[in-house]
Amino acid sequence: MQTEVAIIGAGPAGTTLGLMLHQAGIDCVVIERQSSDYVLGRIRAGVLEWTTVEILDSLGVGERMRAEGHVHSGVSIGWRGREILSIELQALSGRPMMAYGQTEVQTDLYRRADEVGLTIVFEATDVELHGLTGDVATDSPAVTFTADGGQQRIDCAAIAGCDGYHGVSRITIPDEVKTEYEKAYPFGWLGILSETPPLPQLMYVNNERGFALCSERNPMLSRYYVQCPLTDSVDDWSDDRFWTELLTRVPASAAETIVTGPSIEKSIAPLRSYVVEPMQWGNLYLAGDAAHIVPPTGAKGLNLAVADVRYLADAFIARAEGDQTKLARYSTTALSRVWNAVRFSWWLTMLLHRFPDQSPFDQRAQEQDLYYLASSRAAQESMAEQYVGLPLYPDLT
């Protein structure tokens, strides 16, 4: 089999890139090691930047999102058990956000892929990358894998690694030519889904007992989180214990309005920040979680993945038109946005969580940061600008 671009991974990044290239008339094949049901079963982010909304619209996958998603114009921050600060995102930045779960985004992407005839090979095992030397001029990229009972090979001009942190793409880049940056946080998030109406506005909480988050997936599906030790397991947290802890942490005025109910999903996720540089090596290009991971505090993971593949698709389209410069600069272009999001997610994580080794000085400094945010319009504008997402191609003139 031959194609122009072999895409490894059919999550949001890989499927979105496939649709972008297909729309531009660039031949591509998407290879996914899991089944489509497995991919759709993963519970992930649920807050979309408006740039992401516009990109999905442009690919013909925005109709259900527009009908069922919830546009929200602000977020709230609660701390000390009583103060609630409302950050009016749209008023301060000019752009709102969209609450729409990643599972729903992925469902829409797969539906569109079927409609346009995008080739996705599911349950492809033993994936290996070949012919990569790190030199664009001498690379002869190919992908081998096992599917439908036999080994298959795809020869291509380029490989897009959209297969996540544990995929084959990132580890194909030799250690001596890449630099990895990582910060692990000493706690996790215990999250539940419940078929209950969410709060009218997404709320972050800094409490002496730990962080909490009240989010949503749709008008009758809520997503709640509480900070917990990494040593905890889901079995340690009954629904009753979770609701008691959540209602203790959020401000009393919010706790009075939260509707509790049985959980339909429960999981614990560790938090970390990770970036690999560069995001390209010869004719191999990384995107999404294959290149970077952010703590979910800033709602950046899915949005960064979509931005990566927009840059990458634009670069492949430019190359097809005879311009190689965008592809040569893909890593530099993408990493500028990545590091902005990584820094913002780190800052918000440090601002809102209680750390096991937090000294009295650290706690007072953190509280003062919250008071400054509450009292300064400039600080709120800065947070709003970063939260809703910086422009893909900022005007630096």
Whether 387 is a known active-site residue: answer: yes
CB neighbour list of residue 184: distance below 8 Å, 6 or more residues apart = 270, 271, 272
Q: Any idea what DSSP says for residue 2?
A: B
Q: What sign for the dihedral angle of Cα 168, 18, 339, 324? A: positive
Q: What sign for the dihedral angle of Cα 308, 311, 314, 319? A: negative
Whether 186 is a known active-site residue: answer: no
Whether 300 is a known active-site residue: answer: yes
Between CA 267 and CA 153 the distance in angstroms is: 37
Of the residues 198, 300, 330, 353, only one is catalytic, namely 300
Of the residues 100, 185, 204, 224, only one is catalytic, namely 204
Beta sheet of 280-281, edge-to-edge order: 120-121, 28-31, 5-8, 158-161, 284-286, 280-281
Of the residues 12, 198, 251, 296, only one is catalytic, namely 296
Whether the Cβ atoms of residue 3 and residue 160 lie closer than 8 Å to each other: no
Structure-token match 């319009």, residue found = 377
Whether 22 is a known active-site residue: answer: no
CB neighbour list of residue 89: distance below 8 Å, 6 or more residues apart = 72, 73, 74, 75, 95, 96, 97, 384, 387, 388
Whether 285 is a known active-site residue: answer: no
Of the residues 72, 178, 266, 326, only one is catalytic, namely 72
Q: What sign for the dihedral angle of Cα 363, 366, 371, 374? A: negative
Query: Which residues are marked as active site?
Result: 72, 204, 296, 300, 387
